[in-house]
Amino acid sequence: MSKTILITGSTDGIGLDAATLLAAQGHKILLHGRNQRRLEAAAARLREESPNCSPEAYLADLSAPEEVENLAAAVTRDHTRLDALINNAGVLKGPDPSTRHGWDLRLLVNTIAPYLLTRRLLPSMDHAGRVINVASAAQEPVDLQALQHPGTLSDMSAYAQSKLALIMWTFHLARTLGEGAPAFIAVNPGSLLGTKMVREGFGLAGKDVRIGGDILARLATEEAFSSVSGQYSDNDVGDFGSPHPDALDPERCRMLTEALDVIVAQLT
Ligand SMILES: NC(=O)c1ccc[n+]([C@@H]2O[C@H](COP(=O)([O-])OP(=O)(O)OC[C@H]3O[C@@H](n4cnc5c(N)ncnc54)[C@H](OP(=O)(O)O)[C@@H]3O)[C@@H](O)[C@H]2O)c1
What's residue 111's pLDDT?
98
For position 101, what pLDDT does the model report?
Answer: 83
Please name every residue paired with 86 in a beta bridge, in sequence order, or none if there are none. Answer: 7, 132
In short, whether 189's Cβ falls inside 6 Å of ligand 1 is: yes
d(CA 126, CA 205): 40
**Residue 51 and residue 63: Cα distance in Å, rounded?**
33
Residue 45 CA to ligand 1 center (angstroms) comes to 18
Q: Report percent pLDDT > 90 for the chain.
A: 92
| Dihedral sign (CA 87, 91, 97, 98) | negative
Q: Which of 10, 39, 91 for a ligand 1 pocket mutation test, highest count of atoms within 8 Å of Cβ? A: 91
Residue 253 pairs in a beta bridge with none
Q: Is the pLDDT of residue 181 over 90?
A: yes
197 in contact with ligand 1, CB cutoff 6 A: yes
pTM: 0.98
Backbone CA torsion sign across 113, 116, 120, 125? positive
Which pLDDT does position 210 carry in this prediction?
Answer: 98
Using most ligand atoms within 8 A of CB, pick from 36, 61, 197, 208 the residue to mutate for ligand 1: 197
- What pLDDT shows up at residue 99? 86
Is 38 a pocket residue for ligand 1 (Cβ < 6 Å)?
A: yes
Rounded percentage of the chain residues whose pLDDT exceeds 70:
100
pLDDT in tens, 225-246: 998 999 999 999 999 999 999 9
Residue 94 has pLDDT above 90, yes or no: no
Domain 4-267 -> CATH class? alpha beta
Domain extent listing, the chain: 4-267
Top pLDDT among 22 and 95 is at: 22
* Active site annotation includes 159: yes
Residue nearest to atom 20 of ligand 1 (CA): 197
Give residue 1's pLDDT. 85
The per-residue pLDDT for 137 is 98
pLDDT at 102 exceeding the cut of 90: no
Contact 164, 141 (CB under 8 A): yes
What's the average model confidence in pLDDT over 23-41?
A: 98
Res 119: pLDDT: 98
Q: What is the pLDDT of residues 186-203, one digit of tens each?
A: 999 999 999 999 999 999
Label residue 156 by pLDDT band (50, 70, 90). very high
The yes-or-no verdict on residue 2 having pLDDT over 90 is yes
Minimum-distance ligand 1 atom for the alpha carbon of 62: 32
Cα gap 134→122, rounded to integer Å: 18
Q: Is 9 in the pocket of ligand 1 (CB under 6 A)?
A: yes
Pairing of strands 239-241, 231-234: antiparallel
- Distance from residue 14's CA to the centre of ligand 1 (Å): 7
What average pLDDT score do residues 111-138 get?
Answer: 98
**Active-site hit among 58, 115, 159, 232:** 159
